[in-house]
Amino acid sequence: MAPELLELALTHRSWAYEHGGVANNERLEFLGDSILGQAVTVMLYTSYPHLDEGDLAKRRASLVSAVALSEVARGIGLGAHLKLGKGEELTGGRDKSSILADTVEAIIGATYIDLGGEAATTLVLHLIAPLLADPDRFGAAMDPKTSLQELAARRGHGVPIYELSDTGPDHSKRFTATVVLGGESIASGEGTSKKQAEMAAALEAWTVLSARRPSTPSA
């Protein structure tokens, strides 16, 4: 990919604003979102002939969600390469699910512009392959809150509690959700809606809990 196009795909609006309103990655994100949806739709349709329309729609929604795309971004270390403004840098923008997901879409859009549709589709399928290869994680990405609740119940942790906070003006709020299990804060997530923040937090908590060795019940 042309270096200048890749640089544009990595440029968040906060960086562009602080540097005189130069171009940012939002147009590429718009394009990449469409390409991502089409590539995932065709892949699911051809790979899962036994699924009906409703199940296909659920799987597509999960794979193109901000939660899933941010997981993809973290898996390839994308956050380290973002061009962020000082404000976003100070508030942990390099690990914000929404920023990471948008940047993945921008890179898909840039790939389409520079290398064509076939290359962009190949990139999409490569990026989502880790989710498809791990049935547990794929299920968690599809419905992270239910997956976390089921895992917590199996581990004897009780029902997850979501503590919410928000920042910013009414027209541009950002929400943060923290998952609490048995009085312990397990993980946090953020998003542009309460639902998105809770889903991001739930998937992160599921990941943390899955990595822990199950405790041995006391006699």
Residues flagged as binding site for Mg(2+): 29, 102, 105
Exposed/middle/buried for 138, CB within 10 Å: 0-12, 13-18, 19+?
middle
| CA distances to 35, 64, 98, 177, 188 from 166, in Å | 32, 24, 15, 9, 13
Handedness of CA 78, 81, 83, 85 (dihedral sign): positive
Positions annotated as catalytic residues are 33, 105
- The closest of 147, 202, 145, 211 to 177, measured between CA atoms, is 202
Cα 176 → chain centroid: 14
Neighbours of 188 (CB within 10 A): 17
Q: Which residues contact 199 (CB under 8 A, 6 or more apart)?
A: 65, 67, 144, 145, 189, 191
| Inter-residue contact 174 to 97 (CB < 8 Å) | no
